[in-house]
């Protein structure tokens, strides 16, 4: 099993902007909060809404709660999560 290595907030945002799925996780927890852009098929470079899902069970396909946040609110969400002990990761 590959060891998870946390990244910086800037690396997290850059990975999201490159179309990757990323997540936040507290140390020693299996629960993850997933983030990825909702892409407009007609204009893939336009990003207004971010998908946010909380894992209910282990694995990417088991979601509990879902939200959309706006692009301008992303920084506020990430700062709040960071203050609550979450670390940044890229899903590889």
Average pLDDT over the chain reads: 82
* In the predicted structure, residue 78 carries a pLDDT above the cut 90: yes
Query: Confidence band (pLDDT; 50, 70, 90) for 42?
Result: confident
Strand residue runs (E) in 5-92: 22-25, 33-37, 49-55, 63-70, 87-90
- Interhelix angle 74-83/9-17, rounded to 10 degrees, is 140
Distance CA 6, CA 8 (A): 7
* In the predicted structure, residue 22 carries a pLDDT above the cut 70: yes
Distance CA 73, CA 67 (A): 12
* In the predicted structure, residue 77 carries a pLDDT above the cut 80: yes
Per-residue tokens: 5: 């290595």
> Does pTM surpass 0.85?
no
pLDDT for 80:
92
* In the predicted structure, residue 15 carries a pLDDT above the cut 90: yes
Distance CA 20, CA 26 (A): 20
Rounded alpha-carbon distances, angstroms, from residue 63 to 31, 44, 68, 77: 10, 25, 14, 19
């Amino acid at each position: 099993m590959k060891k998870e290595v946390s990244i910086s907030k800037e690396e997290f945002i850059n990975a999201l902007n490159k179309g990757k799925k990323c997540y936040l996780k507290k140390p020693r927890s299996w629960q993850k909060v997933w983030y990825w852009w909702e892409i407009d098929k007609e204009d893939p470079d336009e990003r207004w809404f971010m998908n946010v899902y909380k894992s209910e069970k282990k694995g990417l396909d088991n979601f509990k709660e879902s939200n959309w946040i706006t692009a301008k609110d992303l920084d506020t969400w990430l700062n709040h999560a960071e203050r609550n002990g979450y670390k940044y990761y890229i899903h590889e």
